[in-house]
Chains A and B, each alone.
Chain A
Amino acid sequence: MAESSRSRRHRLLLTLRRNLFASPLDGLITLVLLAVCGSGLWFLMHWALIKADWAVVYENVCLYFNGIFPADHVWRSWSWLAVLAALCGLTLWPWPLPRPLMRLLPLLWILSLPIGLVLLASGLGLEPVRSRFWGGLQLTLLLTLGTIALALPLGILLALGRRSSLPLLRWLCTSYIELIRGVPLIAVLFFGQLMIPLFLPEGWTFSRVLRAVLSLGFFVAAYMAEDVRGGLQALPRTQLEAARSLGLSPLKTITLVELPQALRIALPALANQCVASVQNTSLLAYLGLIELLGISRSILANPSYLGRHLEVYLWLALLYWAVCILMTSLARRLERTLNVTGHH
């Protein structure tokens, strides 16, 4: 017993030495890196626990999450966030769930956006709240979900159009994709905010939020289209021939045979686009939306929180990071479920 534990310790020491102190230079590098990391961590902890004043965060929690949503209706905003949290929890639940609930989950996710719109805007007897009162994390998530809900179907259609046998359609889709991919997002967003109103008929107005979702959605769709196209191209031609031989129409071949497989292949890339979309919504702070970054900037503009940038941005980083981690885990979960029921 003692013998083996000593030999194990011996082996551990050997491994450490081989990996970290193989030569004098290696040893030096290891020590320097340790010193840098250690002092960095020490500095951060010292700052976060002693010097930082987190009042700017905890006094404004409601603002970060709900923006300037009217106080007597703010429960609606909280409820929507709670719905999303519950959906995430159910989806990521590591233990088996009742089958009917599992079946219902995709539908619930699809419904999460309309539910959010009802809760935030109006409907079902709720008093209307104008979209300029939406903000904070709630608006960031709404923008993200709206963008995905628009970009995914549009991206699929663009990808299908790009390989259509109709030359005009193919040309249009290809040009659209190439054009959008050649323009920076911020330009598209400015275009959306400033130009969409000019194209609308007299008397029509689109709220800023809708304009933002439209521009983000049309932008992301071009990238998603390329991911879906990659998935479609990865399918062997013989799948198509098998479907055709069974008498499936071109439309049914696409929806029943090609797309389910292509989307599965494209899933990691599509998830990537979704995570990027979360971060891209922050650009809208510069176009007057008070989503997570926007509301933080207004909080920082309050004289009583003068110079509290570091606290706020660290807190923001944490929130964005949490949202992105959640989305990545959701995507991985979906991937795993799909792999269990098919392929490999």
Chain B
Amino acid sequence: MAASAAPSPPSDSGAQPGDAWSAGPELAVRSQELDKIFSNGFQALRKVDLAVGKGEVVVIMGPSGSGKSTLIRTFNGLETIQGGHLEVLGHHLDADNNQKVVSKIRRHVGMVFQQFNLFPHLSILENVTLAPIWVQKRDRQKVKKDALALLDHVGIREQANKYPSQLSGGQQQRVAIARSLALSPRLMLFDEPTSALDPEKVKEVLETIRTLAAEGMTMVVVTHEVGFAREVADRVVFMDEGMIVEEASPQTFFTDPKEERSKLFLSRIL
């Protein structure tokens, strides 16, 4: 409650970069000179500048170890940052991640992982209703109805009473998406959502994400699915060694990349 007494515009963080920097209403994420240094001294992000507009779909690509996961994990406070500025949905994150700010951000940011990370001891329905009931403290009956509608939306309503281990990978990943959507997020982060799936299951999950994009959801997607990126992304961001090497529209990036490293990468995956 004390937090809401603080000034609501994101001007309460320690380091004040001035008005010029503030992300403004049209941006969902903005990072400036973002540095991530792990406790073992390894620097995974080097001065990353990135802006994600509301309603925009940004695809991040790059070789393994380039810092893609680390970058999107800073967006919901799973990783702290060591330098630079980061603003997510109007909330400032800085080096000493304020727990209150982080939990505010998490209420509006959904995250989907490569390994689904469903809760194995809860049924599909309970997985989806857990956060609305315990985080948003909404009415159980209403939450349950909404959850079933969401499961219907991602095409697994019939499985609502099963347990995660009884579902295929593709179905589990769709449940994970529904679980995030249950909190009505304003930003969705996807970390290689199809990399752990059998080839024939990739399509159903991408289809679900594509529908979301069509509905206007703001999304940052780490993926190597070129077809998906071409069709859905508004922008492709190419990372290497903790830096953003190139940013372009999918059209330009896949047909006419500027940087040598992008060309090398594309020659390997295309």
Contacts and interface: CB of A to CB of B under 8 A. Distances in A.
B111 A245 contact: yes
Contacts of A257: 119
B135 A248 contact: yes
A235 B134 CA distance: 21
Contacts of A244: 78, 106
A246 B180 CA distance: 7
Interface string B109-140: 11101010111111100000011001100000
Contacts of A260: 121
A344 B106 CA distance: 30
Contacts of B205: none
Contacts of B120: 261, 342-343
A129 interface: no
A252 interface: yes
Interface in B58-91: 76, 78
Contacts of B228: none
A238 B117 CA distance: 6
Given A241-B113, A242-B113, A247 B121 contact: no
Contact of A247 (B78, B106, B165): B106
A248 B133 CA distance: 10
Interface in B89-116: 103, 106-107, 109-111, 113, 115
A329 interface: no
B183 interface: yes
Q: In the complex, which range does the number of interface residues on chain A fall in?
A: 20 to 34
Contact of B76 (A245, A249, A252): A245
Contacts of B115: 238
B163 interface: yes
A247 B135 contact: yes
Contacts of B121: 260-261, 264, 342-343
A272 interface: no
Interface string A244-288: 111111001000110011001000000000000000000000000
Given A245-B76, A245-B111, A343-B163, A239 B119 contact: yes
Interface string B157-190: 0000001010000000000000110010000000
Nearest to B136: A247
Contact of A248 (B76, B131, B163, B180): B131
List the 4 closest A-B pairs by CB distance, nearest first.
A242-B117, A247-B106, A246-B131, A245-B111
Interface of A: 238-239, 241-249, 252, 256-257, 260-261, 264, 341-344
17 contacts: A239-B119, A242-B118, A244-B78, A245-B106, A245-B180, A247-B103, A247-B135, A247-B183, A248-B130, A248-B131, A248-B134, A249-B135, A257-B119, A261-B121, A341-B163, A342-B163, A343-B121
Interface of B: 76, 78, 103, 106-107, 109-111, 113, 115, 117-123, 130-131, 134-135, 163, 165, 179-180, 183
